[in-house]
Structures are given as structure tokens and as C-alpha cells.
Chains A and B, each alone.
Chain A
Amino acid sequence: MQSFNDILGEAGKLTEQVMVVPDPRSERVLSAVHEAQQAGLIVPVLIGDQWSLNKKLFSMNIQTDGYRIIDEPDTSRALAKAIKLIQQKEADIIFQGDTEMEDFLQAVTNDTTGIATAQSLSYVSLFELPSQNRLILLTDTYIQEFPNVQQKITILNNAISLANSVGIETPKVAALSMVELVNPTFISTLDAAILSKMSERKQINAIVDGPLDIDCASSLERATRKRVQSSVSGEVDIYLFHDIESGYSVTELTVFLGKASAAGALLGSDIPIILNISFETAYSLLVDIALARLRKQ
């Protein structure tokens, strides 16, 4: 798949699944849900204050036949009910809706009542590159803050599985740092070298090179000018950031300064979980729902 349109197209071919949304209130969230339902991606189950929900949907001109609406005005109870539905297999996907990020993540990763393990989770942000007719994946852009190399392996494997599900069979990965030479003072360079070696030994199902700075990773011309030889220069599918300061902020920079649409996927759980990220538009959320459908279980 080379674009968000392709993702929507492919996901549209699958039979729809049930998506539960606790406390959906904003037009942004509700229109994403509506578009996804119209595209045949999902059957929505909304849990919230039934009266205001119906009023909102009516004002947005959204017909609710095909929707299941469960009345629960209390947000945390709505969230608990949504998770229960997942556990009882009455819903296949859960979308954060307008619940608070902190509350939502805590609820889904709760030791006893949750549906995912915090340590396995990571986030991938996707951008289109229209000039190159392909997608790029950035990770970890939301969840793991200062991953060690073991955690980076998890993050990378999650991203690889997402790459696979959008048709990138053996993704090329750049393990980013600010220099391309390994320097024991800079852990980012050590981690990058380790991951490269692991890919060489086929311990990771991708072509990983690093350390690379963003210049050498993104442009074969610049890499050549700097005399850096890499198997991934100019063809990177997955950008792996050293920590969340780079991962999250670079994604925001691309969205705001680049005016780019960022789609995203929370990975590492059996059940697809979709987050409501501040810099994702309603359209991005729609693509996220499609991505959740495409994920191999």
C-alpha cells in the first residue's frame, strides 16, 4: 500500500468488525467513527450519555441505524463497560473516544482488568510520501520513553508487523542517532549497532542499519557526500528513534511544520486499541481504524 487511500481501500474489502467507543463527545471523534462505519470498516458501539450523544449525532446529520448506543453518563464506568465488551467478545476493537489518555491507557493495561500489557506496547506514526509513492513509519512516537535495546527490539518487531500488514515485506530500518560512527559515549549509537548486527544475523525480520543521522538515512545523495555507506539510505521504511524526545517531537514537527497528516497505530496488544492523539485529525483517526482492521492477529 502506498498511501492512506490504499489503506482505506484494502481495509474496506474486509468484513466489518465491532468497534466500541467509550465516551465519544467531540465532532472530531464522532465523524471519524461515522466515516469508518460508512466505509464498511466497523459497526460502532458507543457508550456514553445517550441523550447528549443522540443530540450531537442528530446535529451532525448522522443516522444512527447500524449504531448500538449504550447509555452510561459516567466516563469511567463507560470505559469499564467498553473493556468488558471486549473481554466478552462482544466487540473486536476499542477506540479511546474522548476519554482522557491517562485514564484510557491505565484502564486497558490494568493488571487484573486490562486487555494489554504496558511493556509490550509501542506506537507507530505513519506519513505518506507522495513524491515517492510510499509510506514511512516512525517509532516509538508515543509510548516507550527511554527504551533500552531489549525494548527497542520489541518496538521494532511491532513496527515490522505493521509494515507487513501494509504490504512492506522486508522493511528497511534506520536506527537514528546524531552521528554515524559508533561511540561508546553515546548509547544511541551502541543500540543502533546492536540492532544492525541482529538484522545481519537474521534475528530481526528487517534490514536494519545504524547508527545513521537523519541526513544519511533519508538521502542517498547526502550519505554519499558524507561518505557513509548504508544499505538503507534514501529507502527507509521505518525510522527508529532513540527515545521519546525525538520520536514524539519529530512527529509533531512533521504534522505542524510539514502540515502532514499523521496516521498511527498502537501495537503490541492482541486486541486492536486505537488512541485519540492530539495531532491526529478526524481523517487520521479514520485511517487508524482502517489500520486496526488490517493488522494481522
Chain B
Amino acid sequence: MVKSFEEAEIMAGKVGPKRISVLRAENREFLLALKESYRRGYVEPILIGDASKIREIADDIDFDISTFLLIDEKSQQEIADKGVRLVSEGKSDLILRGHIDGHYVYRALIRHSAQTGTRRQICVVALMQMPVLPKFIGLIDPGITVAPDFQAKIAIIQNAVDLFSHLGYENPRVGILTAHRRLNSDLDSVVDAMKIRDAHSRGELTGCIIEEGLCLSDFFLGKNGFLEDHENIDFSLIPDIILAHNIEFANIFSKLDSMSTIDYFPRWERHGIVMGADAPAIIPSRADKHDAIVTIIALGVLIS
């Protein structure tokens, strides 16, 4: 069971190398990350983008790319489409969003799954690591599904469960997070939670455990508990996978540390992985430098 990003970096070397389509590789941070990832045995890069720029930067950083497949393409959507197609042609195991805007990648993935008829719900799983928790958690879905109904939620959960099973979790615990307070209300999120639990007991959602609680107070304090003090909270009670009801909340949760990195949320680290397509797509954030990109490549290698 991989519990931390550091463990992922160690394991990826044993599982790799995997073939990775790099969408628009002409960027120094990405090429530095690929150089290191190649060295560690994580990946065999397939570089797609402006070939001459790629060669120039690779040269500059002393990265010998001569044995890699290099596909010359300048149009961003074409790059994304080619990268995705390589997976269905069996030539690539993993997709890396390089120096290209995320929406080209999402569009390519959605279009491709529509064409091939594999209409599975694609979603972003944000793996989040923070010192207060004993292991990272997977949050769904801060990036793609805006207001998933319960069927879409089941598909999203299954995606996250698949991801966690690749990381060695046998029956990951899924927490459906809602704004359930101790009063009567007809929250859609709670109604969906009941439907998801029913579907799970009928075997429509497999390989996971659905937690009893509906909110963090339930998970940490029990259904009728009250917070006495912070020091006695058992953080191992946090579910492995957390389903947020809508994208507004998922988005805030995934970046909540910005509200207070010093006082409350120090050293959060997060990496986004798109699941549900033919191969996982790793999406570094725009601010990620080469070291963070290496971490996310390691995660991608384990999941593919």
C-alpha cells in the first residue's frame, strides 16, 4: 500500500518503465523531469510537440533523446489527440499533460472515449498529502464533473477505487462527504449517498467499503459526538477516498490550504490524475516544477 508520495517514487522504479506520451514536451521543467524519470527507470518517453524546440532544450540540459519516439506537431489540439490515440493503439501506457492547457487534454480524452464507445465517466482524482494525515487521500472530482448525479458519482467512485487498487489498497474506504447537520433536511448529497450505498450493496460498485458517516463530524466524532479537544482526534479514521457533492466544493477543498498555509494547512501537496479514459492522464499544475513533475510521473507509472 503506497501511503505517501515518497513511497510512490520508490515503488515506481520497480514497476516501470512505462511508455508515456508527453503532450507538448518543449519545456525545460518537463524535460528535466523526464530526464530524471528516465534515469530512475520510471518511463520511456514518447515526445510530441515542436521537434526542433524539443531537441534544442534537450541538448541544453544534456538529455539524450535520440532513442525516443519524437512526433513533430505544433497544433495543441492535434498534440493532445495524437497523445491519446497512442494509448488506444497500444503504443503508450500513460499520458502526461506537458506544456499545454488542460482543456485540450480533456477534450481529446472525452472525444476519444465517445468515438470508441467507451462512455465511462472521466474525472480528476486529486491525491492530497498533508502532515496531519497518516496517508494521502483521493478527492473526487475537483476538475471535470460539475454537478454529478448519483450514477455519475458511482462511476467517479469506481475510477478512484481503481486508482487506489493500483496503489495496493485492497478495499479502499470511501467517504461520501455532505453538509449533513443534525437536523432534517433533504440534501441531494445525502439522498445520493443513500442511493450509492444501495448500489454498492447490490454489487454495482465494487472493490471498496462505503463509510457509514456523512460528514467529517460523523467520521471523527461518531454520529452523535461533539468535539472535546483537537489533540485526541484519530486521523486514521479519514477515508481513503472522499467524494465531494459538487465541483464548487471539490475545488475549494483541493486548494483549501491557500486559506492559511501557515496557521492551519502547512505543507499540503497535491497531484491530479484523470481517470476513466483508456489510460490515466497525469496533469501537473501550472506551478509545478521538475521535482513535482517527477513525483506525479511516479504516481502515473504505478497507476497505469
List residues of chain A with CB under 8 Å of any chain B CB: 26, 28, 100-102, 105, 127-131, 136, 142, 145, 176-178, 185-186, 188, 213-215, 217-219, 222, 225, 239, 241-250, 252-261, 276, 278-282
Contact = CB atoms under 8 A, between A and B. Distances in A.
Contacts of A239: 259
Nearest to B265: A258
A251 to B, nearest CB: 9
B217 interface: yes
Contacts of B263: 128-131, 258, 260
A213 B142 CA distance: 12
B217 A252 contact: yes
Contacts, number: 141
B187 A145 contact: yes
B133 A280 contact: no
Contacts of B259: 136, 214, 218, 239, 254
A256 B248 contact: no
Nearest to A226: B286
Secondary structure class of chain B's binding surface, majority of residues: loop
A247 B228 contact: no
B265 A131 contact: no
B264 A219 contact: no
Given A253-B253, A280-B227, A102 B248 contact: no
30 contacts: A28-B228, A101-B181, A131-B260, A136-B259, A145-B187, A178-B247, A185-B146, A213-B252, A213-B255, A214-B259, A218-B259, A242-B248, A244-B187, A245-B189, A245-B248, A249-B215, A253-B216, A255-B216, A256-B233, A258-B263, A259-B132, A260-B263, A276-B226, A278-B217, A278-B226, A278-B227, A279-B216, A279-B217, A279-B227, A280-B227
A101 B183 contact: yes
B176 to A, nearest CB: 11
Contacts of B245: 245
B178 interface: yes
Given A26-B226, A279-B227, A214 B181 contact: no
A28 B264 contact: no
Contacts of A225: 287
A217 B263 CA distance: 17
B184 interface: yes
A163 B18 CA distance: 55
Query: Across chains A and B, which 6 residue pairs bring their CB atoms closest together, nearest first?
Result: A258-B264, A178-B251, A248-B179, A252-B216, A131-B262, A218-B258
A214 B221 contact: no
Given A176-B252, A246-B249, A249-B177, 15 more contacts: A102-B184, A127-B264, A177-B248, A178-B252, A214-B255, A218-B260, A245-B244, A250-B252, A255-B216, A256-B220, A256-B233, A257-B256, A259-B233, A279-B221, A281-B229
Nearest to B133: A257
A254 B216 contact: no
A282 to B, nearest CB: 8
